[in-house]
């Protein structure tokens, strides 16, 4: 992890839409309480249970968000990519992180003191509206994911995961990913062995093609059918 010098918030071209209605003075105030960081692949950005001091805005790379339980099992609940803000509900409740964030690619991010963001939410209606909209979208995505995990069989969950990676995370087909097979398992709520087995079935059935870290969905309509039917 490294602290990077960067241009200020006023001139930043990677600024989140949340800040579009702030005036230069307000942006300079945010900039005074901002630190830009670089994270290597696999480096922790924050850990579940740790104190919450900052909001994180991802400016490059990709970050996975996951919850852990006492048996060392993980469930990936989402990703943050440029220029997503990682909202941490604990900042408003107990000042603790309730999930972990880890860089799954070379990643840069701006860390802004939580009190600054909370102050803007209290005093700037447009900023508050943008914040609520983004938090609501994240909550809806989480509800959909939990519904899929609890109501679908393994093929349906794996189909959901592949479609989501292609259309929402990487926005490409084929797509190159640094995610491991264990990450695939943590995304789809199954063991690593089961995830590998379902991927092989999809591959043998001509649904996908895997070459190292490159994944190509060959038959999206069939994969979407598997997703719908669960």
Tell me which DSSP letter residue 71 carries: T
Q: Tell me the HSE value of 181 on the side-chain side, using a 13 A CA sphere.
A: 12
Write down the pLDDT at residue 4.
52
- Domain ranges for the chain, please list them: 2-148, 152-229
What is the rounded CA–CA span in Å between residue 196 and residue 206? 15
Token pair belonging to 132: 């609520």
Decide if 2-148 and 152-229 have a common fold.
no
Tens-binned pLDDT, residue by residue, of the chain (230 aa): 555 545 677 777 777 778 888 888 888 888 888 999 999 999 999 999 999 999 899 999 999 999 988 777 889 999 999 988 888 888 888 999 999 999 999 999 999 998 898 899 999 999 889 888 888 888 898 888 888 888 999 999 999 999 999 999 999 999 999 999 999 999 999 999 999 999 999 999 999 999 999 999 999 999 999 999 87
The Cα–Cα gap between 190 and 173 comes to 24
Q: What is the pTM of this model?
A: 0.87
Give the distance from CA 227 to its chain's centroid.
Answer: 21
Contact 175, 215 (CB under 8 A): yes
Place of tokens 């640094």: 178
Cβ-count burial of 145 within 10 angstroms (0-12 exposed, 13-18 middle, 19+ buried)?
buried
CATH architecture of 152-229: Orthogonal Bundle (1.10)
Name the token pair of 54.
Answer: 């900052």
Q: How far apart are CA 55 and CA 118, in angstroms?
A: 10
Q: How far apart are CA 228 and CA 163, in angstroms?
A: 12
Q: CA geometry: angle at 174 spanning 172 and 180, to 5°? A: 100
CATH class given for the domain over 2-148: mainly beta
CA 38 to chain centre: 17
Handedness of CA 166, 167, 168, 173 (dihedral sign): positive
CA–chain centroid gap for 64, Å, is 5
Q: How many angstroms separate the CA atoms of 157 and 187, rounded? A: 9
């Amino acid at each position: 992890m490294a602290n990077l010098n960067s241009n200020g918030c006023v001139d930043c071209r990677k600024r989140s839409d949340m800040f579009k209605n702030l005036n230069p003075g307000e942006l300079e105030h945010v900039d005074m309480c901002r630190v830009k960081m670089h994270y290597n692949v696999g480096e922790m950005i924050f850990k579940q249970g740790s104190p919450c001091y900052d909001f994180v805005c991802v400016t490059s790379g990709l970050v996975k968000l996951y919850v852990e339980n006492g048996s060392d099992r993980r469930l990936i609940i989402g990703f943050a990519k440029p220029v997503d803000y990682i909202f941490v509900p604990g900042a408003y409740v107990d000042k603790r992180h309730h999930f972990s964030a880890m860089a799954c690619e070379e990643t840069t991010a701006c860390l802004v003191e939580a009190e600054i963001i909370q102050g803007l939410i209290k005093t700037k209606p447009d900023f508050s509206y943008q914040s609520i909209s983004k938090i609501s979208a994240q909550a809806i995505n989480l509800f959909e994911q939990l519904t899929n995990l609890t109501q679908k069989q393994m093929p349906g969950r794996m189909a959901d995961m592949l479609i989501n990676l292609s259309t929402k995370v990487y926005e490409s087909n084929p797509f190159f990913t640094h995610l491991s097979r264990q990450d695939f398992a943590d995304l789809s709520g199954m063991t690593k062995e089961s995830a590998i087995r379902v991927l092989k079935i999809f591959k043998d059935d001509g649904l996908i093609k895997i070459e190292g870290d490159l994944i190509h969905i060959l038959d999206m309509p069939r994969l979407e059918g598997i997703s719908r039917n669960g």
